[in-house]
Structure 1
């Protein structure tokens, strides 16, 4: 049984900004590459923050007057824009909250939830940026077909991992929801089966109707 890792799901060839990347360049990079955020790296490729569309809009709002127009009285007369001179270092959310390529989907999702972020730069052992993973990337594991989930549970979990006979447990999967029916040797193995099935990438829920084989009175 194999779990897809952050390294399997992340985006490679990341579009990134430097600390001194200007405001307008960041806007252009976001638009041209159809992304909503960029990691910001230092001179040796270590992530130091993330700059997002929300960060840019927050800056625009802060530098505008009550009517939404630039505070600078010369802004409409060809003078430099109020956002000129602002760089990624001033805009970014810092420090960067990063993941490792070998992490599981659950590990990355927990960090996103704990830190309240939508994406994680991914770094190697040298703390160098190697990719970026978003919430949407992590959710791709739930696009697995039901028959693929059923085959992994029946073959990898029940037979190869736990040593059960193929006829011991019937596995039904619909829209990622797993139903298990059958009889096994001991009650102690039932929660183990349920836990391993929940750990299969793409499983939404597990309903167990398993019973001990010798308990003929069980429903």
Structure 2
């Protein structure tokens, strides 16, 4: 089986800004490239943070409300403009991924860190791409017949050495149903785990028994 890596899914070249970029320059970069966030890189191209529309809006929200009561600005007040740099706005440190990571690895980091995208860096920590939640979900756009063929051919026959007649595989909207009889009941969870590892599989419903064992149907997992 061949799994798509983050290197296969990431976007490149990457729209980014330098650490000395101004508020207006960042806003223009986001608008011109139709993106909601960009990595911030240092002088040698290493991500040091990420700046998003939310970061810019947060800065704007700190300004005096022109419709509210008039007040003199505090000594630390600064307007959102050319004198505000991205270093004051970005979220840091940058949570990054590697090109060789799997979809599962990247998804877990996104969930754990509460981020929507990951800059992708090489061995020297330089920016080489960016991957978003939408990019990860592209693996689930695979056709059902493609999933069925990979499970039948690569998982059951080539990897496990099963005869094609031993198992039936049905796939509907990425949900896999496998039925059949195995000589070794201990292979049942192995089949399930390998099927779940196929890119694009949403869940696996096992209806497989082992010969000479009381292994009944296994419910849906995903």
Structure-2-length-normalised TM-score: 0.90
Q: How does 1:103-142 map to 2 (within 5 A)?
A: 103-142=101-140
Q: CA deviation at 1:64?
A: 3.2
1:23 — aligned with what? Answer: 23
Kept in 2: contact 1:12–1:131 (CA 8 A): yes
TM-superposed CA distance for 1:67, in Å, is: 3.5
The partner residue of 1:181 within 179, 182, 204 is: 179
For residues 104-148 of structure 1, what are the alpha-carbon distances to aligned partners after superposition, in whole Å with 9 as ceiling and x for unaligned?
A: 000000000110100000000000000000000001111111011
Q: Counterparts of 1:187 and 1:55 in 2: how far apart (Å)?
A: 54
Distance (Å, rounded) in 2 between the aligned partners of 1:191 and 1:217: 11
Residue 84 in 1 paired to residue 76 in 2?
A: no
State the alpha-carbon separation in 1 of the partners of residues 152 and 104 from structure 2.
22
- How many Å apart are 1:82 and its aligned residue? 4.1
CA contact (8 A) 2:208 2:216 kept: no
1:156 correspondence with 2:154: yes
> In the alignment, which residue of structure 1 is the partner of 2:91?
93
Q: Is the 8 A contact 2:59 2:80 kept in 1?
A: no
4+ long deviations beyond 4 Å: 68-73, 214-219
Residue 144 of structure 1 corresponds to which residue in structure 2?
Answer: 142
- 2:60 is matched with which residue? 60
User: What corresponds to 2:220 in structure 1?
Assistant: none
Give the gaps of 5 or more residues in structure 1. 74-79
Q: CA deviation at 1:70?
A: 10
TM-score, normalised to structure 1, is 0.91
CA distance in 1, matches of 2:151, 2:13: 34
Change (3 A) 1:7 1:161: same
**1:170–1:141 Cα change, 3 Å:** same
The unaligned stretches of length 5 or more in structure 2 are: 218-222
Q: 1:82 to 1:162 in 2, by over 3 A?
A: closer
Deviation at 1:63, TM superposition (A): 1.9
Change (3 A) 1:166 1:182: same
CA RMSD of aligned residues (A): 2.2
CA distance 1:91–1:81, change in 2 (3 Å): closer
How many residue pairs are counted as aligned between the two chains? 213
State how far apart, in whole Å, the 2-side matches of 1:85 and 1:187 are. Answer: 68
Report the more deviating stretch, 57-66 or 131-140. Answer: 57-66
CA 136–198 in structure 1, closer or farther in 2 if over 3 Å, else same: same
Which stretch has the larger CA shift, 83-92 or 46-55?
83-92
